[in-house]
Amino acid sequence: MNERLRLPAEWEPHSASWLAFPHLQDEWPFNLGAAQASIAALCRAIAEAGNEPVRLLVKNEDIESRARSLIGEVRNVRYVTTDYGDCWLRDTAPLFGHRDNGELGALCFAFNGWGGKYEMPFDGQVSGWLTKRLQARRFECPVVLEGGALETNGAGTFLTTASCTLNPNRNLGLTRSTFEQALGDRVSMERVIWLDEGLEHDHTDGHIDMIARFVALDTVVCMRSNPSRPNAEALRSIEEKLRAAGLKVLGIPAPSALQAPSGEPLPASYCNFYIANAAVIVPAYGLPEDEAALEEIANAFPSREVIGLPARDLLWGGGAFHCVTQAQPSKP
C-alpha cells in the first residue's frame, strides 16, 4: 500500500512559518511600500506573540535590507535569499504534512499562475526549491491547484470550491470524483466537502481560505450573510452547505464593501487569518465590523491571543494573512 501524507490542522504545532517579502513594483503599482510594511508587521506578530519562528524569503541583499529596516531586530525571524515571484506562499509553496515515520512530507500541485492570470517569474520553482531545502518527500498530485484552495481539519476532512478546483483554467475536464481520487491517493482523506463558489471579485476563482476555515475537528467559521454586505447570496449558500455536511458553523460578520485605488471591488474576508502557535492573526480593514469579527474569532480560540492587524494594503494585491503564510508543522 502506498504511503499517504497526513496534512495537519493549522492549530497543530509549527516549527516555522514561511513568508516572502513583496518586491515587484508592477504587482503593487499603488502601494508596494505599504504591502511590505504589512508583511513586516505580520512577521513580527507571528514571531513574537505567535511564538513561532519565521523564515522570510528575500530576493537579494537590497530586499533583505528593506525587510530588516521594517521588521526590526526580532530574534525569531530569519532571512532566506532565493528567487521567487511575489508573496503568496500559501499558493506557490507545498502543503506540508506528516509522513508515517513522522518526517516531513509535502503535497505538491502543479502551478499555472492562478489559472494563467498572474504568471510571475520563479513562482513555479518555489515548491521544488523549498521541499529540497527542507528535505521533505514530495507527494506529487497531478492537478493544477494552489494551497489556498484546500482546508483541512487534520483528521481527513477537506473543504474546497468547485469554482476553483474544477475551473477549466486549471483542470479542464476534471470532475469531483477524479479530484478526490487523486487527492486520496496521496493524503489521508475521509471526505471532501464541496462548496460551489467563493467571493465575488476574488482573483483566485474562489479559494476556500477566504470563505470557510476549520477551528476544531467538526467546527468551521464562515461569514454571515447580510443583505447590506457583499456576497450575501453566496455566503448564505456556503453556510447551508456546511451545516448540511454535519459541521457546526460559527458565524462572523461580513465586512463592508471595499475598493482598490483603481475602483475595483475587493474580496475582503475575516476568514483569511493565520493560526500561529500562540496567537491567531486576523486581517482588519478599518471597518466597523472589525471589532465584532475579532471578538467572534477570539471565542473560537480561547487558548490563543487574537490579534487584528491592518490588511487593506495586502488585499489590494488579492489576499491577506493566510494567503501569504505557509506553515511547516513540527515533528509529532
Residues 6+ apart with CB under 8 A from 118: 27, 203, 318
Residues 6+ apart with CB under 8 A from 65: none
> Is 323 known to be catalytic?
yes
Count of beta carbons in the 10 Å neighbourhood of residue 191: 12
Instruction: Label each residue of 291-322 as H, E or C.
Output: HHHHHHHHHHCCCCEEEEEECHHHHCCCCCCC
100 phi-psi bin (left φ>0, alpha ψ -120 to 50, beta other): alpha
Residues 6+ apart with CB under 8 A from 318: 88, 118, 202, 203, 204, 267
Instruction: Provide the 3-class DSSP secondary structure of residue 257.
Output: coil
Residues 6+ apart with CB under 8 A from 276: 14, 17, 45, 46, 49, 50, 51, 52, 304
Task: Give the largest CA-CA distance in the chain.
Answer: 53
CB-neighbour burial class of residue 88 (10 A; exposed 0-12, middle 13-18, buried 19+): buried
Residues 6+ apart with CB under 8 A from 245: 193
Could you tell me the three cell numbers for 56?
522570510
Residue 94 in contact with residue 108, Cβ under 8 Å? yes
Could you tell me the three cell numbers for 308?
487584528
Q: Which residues of 45-67 are buried (b: 16+ CB within 10 A; e: fewer)?
A: bbbbbbebbbbbbbbeeebbebb
CA dihedral 171, 173, 175, 177 (to 10 degrees): -100
Indicate which residues carry an active-site annotation: 323
